[in-house]
């Protein structure tokens, strides 16, 4: 396809601000009109170009953006493909207001000019003039109206469809031209005489009348397998106004023949939707038969491509420009101990145990980073030099074999500034658990497995939780559950779950945590205190919220736990 360079069309994001300008620091924005040719002028220039031009079909915002990225200079908003994409027939079953809504998404998605397939104008002259005004309001650059009766039937369905009276259709053209609010708006009159079997003379008579009534271009339509009658019409028309064709049926005609015939514009009228239907049918059949995505995943675009096409990068840039900077939460991972699986930790700390080829700590760090936590501090102790992941900073607790968890946390006190997540280095959990904890508006929130209670098999000491409401009660409403106590020796009647080794502190909560560390140290308990004791102390005079989850995590303390972790991932 030989596409000349764009005619001064500057393609921007859907809001008129490109990603680069969204990052400007001076706060100034040029107006779109000062730097971008209007879509109306762009379509008029394309239709009147001395070169053969091309319009590619699109039927929604996504396909419009794909057309733009493919290098086309204009879009054909096809009535057939818009209707079909809605599951409707191309018989005016989609109302003109529904079409307008789709066109609005398309104009938001691209700065390319759009020529809309207006069918018969959705009624008489009155419908045409209202539709044209609404198109202009939305920046749709032109309309093509066919000289048939409302409601229309697709031109390729049936034979000898009735046509409008010439004078009546000329009235639709005049009404449309009188109603346009931009001088460059393009009105294309589509001649159906050849399609309906009326012959060349009738086609030329109608085209001349429509040209005299003010049509900016003529679209001559044909359903013959060859382009002979279209090329004959072009010869007789002799360039009296721009001539547009739709070679859906005579697709095998070499494009150079259209150039030689001085055709203005070729419309590829329905091919993106047809390609999409073919691909969707193949994918659906493959997945349905094989009951797996394995054979199809590498044949389709990745999900990230959908994010790119929908403009996520522009939104990120706009957020940086318009939203106040938000402090990024940080994480502190307590990973100083050797652990209880002595036979596997002779040469490495527990946090580096292999879980299907990836160290436990590495998996945890990846989960944290995926949730947006880029500042991750790991408190290390046993075999500390083996912990050297480039994504983390390390803090040493060289008294790891004489102290407990709170002492390790105190080693990281200088990092307790702003929102902070504290967790054990021997746990794995699903990402949604971390997201929920981060999104909670409490100043201190602990993640609790509500299904782990007194009936759980006792293979080790567990950090049992007593909340003021059990897990089952929170299924019915959004009750705020407060922490009362965390201890491995809680009476069964008090247990409402098990702490999964994850707690989040807001900026205020982190300040409270530092104050509590000071009190623990003043009382001489810093070396022996564990995290359940620390959180239980804070719960006595601070509000500590419990968020319940239904499993979806694993704590690695024994060989059985390690096997569970390997199954978990």
Cβ contact 516:540 at 8 Å = no
Per the annotation, the verdict on 90 as an active-site residue is yes
- Residue 520: CA count within 13 A, CB half-sphere: 25
CA angle 530–534–535, rounded 5-degree value: 120
Q: Residue 5: is its pLDDT beyond 50?
A: no
Give bridge partners of residue 483 from the DSSP assignment.
Answer: 467
pLDDT tens for 392-411 read: 999 999 999 999 999 999 99
Q: Measured between alpha carbons, how far is residue 7 from residues 3, 36, 69, 325 in Å?
A: 11, 10, 16, 39
Pick from 453, 455, 457: nearest CA to 495: 453
Q: Residue 552: is its pLDDT beyond 80?
A: yes
pLDDT tens for 505-539 read: 999 999 999 999 999 999 999 999 999 999 999 99
Mean pLDDT score of the chain: 88
Mean pLDDT confidence for 55-62: 97
Q: Which DSSP letter does residue 51 get?
A: S
Q: Can you give the pLDDT at residue 385?
A: 93
Whose structure tokens read 């054990």? Answer: 424
Note if the pTM is more than 0.85. no
Mean pLDDT confidence for 343-369: 91
CA distance 215 to 147: 12
Question: What are the structural domains, with CATH classification, of the chain?
Answer: 39-271 (3.20.20.60), 330-568 (3.90.550.10)
pLDDT tens for 93-136 read: 888 899 999 999 999 999 999 999 999 999 899 999 999 999 99
Q: Can you give the pLDDT at residue 2?
A: 44
The two beta strands, 497-505 and 420-424, are antiparallel
Q: Residue 560: is its pLDDT beyond 90?
A: no
Among 13, 90, 147, 404, the active-site one is: 90
Residues recorded for the chain: 569
Work out the pLDDT band at 157, boundaries 50, 70, 90. low
CA distance 341 to 222: 79
Work out the pLDDT band at 18, boundaries 50, 70, 90. very low
Q: Measured between alpha carbons, how far is residue 369 from residues 313, 392, 421, 536 in Å?
A: 19, 10, 12, 29
By mean pLDDT, which of 7-21, 119-133, 206-220, 540-554 is the weakest?
7-21
Beta strands, E only, 412-462: 420-424, 427-429, 444-449
Work out the pLDDT band at 327, boundaries 50, 70, 90. confident
């Amino acid at each position: 396809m030989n596409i000349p360079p764009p005619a001064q069309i500057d393609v921007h994001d859907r809001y008129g601000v490109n990603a680069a300008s969204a990052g400007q620091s001076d706060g100034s924005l040029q107006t779109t009109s000062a730097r971008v040719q209007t879509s109306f002028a762009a379509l008029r220039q394309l239709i009147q170009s001395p070169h053969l031009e091309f319009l590619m079909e699109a039927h929604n915002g996504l396909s419009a953006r794909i057309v733009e990225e493919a290098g086309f200079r204009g879009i054909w908003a096809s009535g057939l493909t818009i209707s079909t994409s809605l599951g409707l027939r191309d018989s005016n079953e989609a109302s003109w207001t529904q079409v307008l809504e789709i066109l609005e998404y398309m104009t938001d998605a691209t700065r390319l000019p759009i020529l809309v397939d207006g069918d018969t104008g959705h009624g008489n002259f009155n419908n045409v003039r209202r539709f044209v005004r609404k198109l202009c309001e939305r920046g749709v650059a032109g309309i093509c109206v066919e000289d048939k009766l409302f409601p229309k039937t697709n031109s390729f369905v049936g034979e000898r469809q009735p046509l409008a009276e010439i004078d009546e259709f000329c009235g639709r053209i005049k009404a449309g031209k009188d109603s346009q609010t931009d001088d460059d708006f393009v009105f294309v009159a589509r001649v159906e005489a050849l399609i309906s079997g009326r012959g060349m003379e009738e086609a030329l008579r109608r085209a001349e009348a429509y040209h005299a009534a003010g049509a900016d271009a003529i679209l001559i339509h044909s359903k013959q397998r060859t382009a002979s009658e279209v090329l004959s019409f072009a010869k007789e028309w002799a360039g009296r106004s721009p001539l547009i064709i739709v070679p859906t049926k005579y697709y095998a005609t070499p494009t150079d023949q259209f150039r030689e015939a001085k055709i203005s514009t070729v419309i590829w009228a329905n091919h993106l939707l047809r390609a999409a239907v073919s691909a969707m049918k193949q994918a659906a059949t493959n997945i349905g038969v094989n009951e797996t995505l394995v054979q199809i995943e590498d044949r389709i675009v990745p999900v990230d491509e959908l994010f790119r096409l929908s403009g996520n990068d522009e939104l990120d840039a706009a957020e940086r420009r318009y939203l106040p900077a938000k402090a990024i939460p940080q994480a502190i991972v307590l990973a100083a101990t050797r652990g209880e699986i002595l036979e596997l930790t002779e040469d490495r700390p527990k946090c580096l145990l292999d879980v299907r080829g990836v160290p436990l700590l590495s998996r945890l760090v990846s989960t944290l980073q995926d949730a947006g936590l880029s500042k991750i501090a790991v408190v290390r102790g046993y075999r500390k030099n083996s912990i050297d992941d480039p994504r983390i900073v390390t803090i040493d607790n060289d008294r790891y074999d004489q102290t407990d968890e709170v002492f390790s946390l105190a080693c990281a006190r200088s990092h307790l500034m702003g929102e902070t997540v504290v967790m054990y280095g021997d746990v794995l959990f699903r990402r949604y658990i971390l997201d929920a904890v981060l999104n909670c508006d409490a100043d201190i929130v602990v993640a609790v497995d509500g299904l782990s209670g007194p009936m759980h098999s006792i293979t080790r000491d567990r950090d049992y939780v007593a909340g003021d409401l059990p897990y089952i009660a929170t299924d019915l409403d959004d009750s705020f559950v407060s922490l009362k106590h965390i201890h491995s020796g809680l009476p069964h009647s008090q247990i409402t779950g098990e702490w999964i080794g994850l707690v989040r502190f807001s900026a205020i909560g982190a300040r409270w945590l530092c104050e509590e560390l000071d009190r623990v140290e003043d009382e001489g308990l810093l070396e022996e205190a564990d995290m359940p004791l620390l959180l239980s102390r804070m719960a006595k005079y601070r509000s500590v919220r419990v968020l319940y989850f239904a499993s979806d995590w694993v704590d690695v303390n024994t060989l059985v736990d390690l096997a569970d972790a390997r199954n978990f991932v």
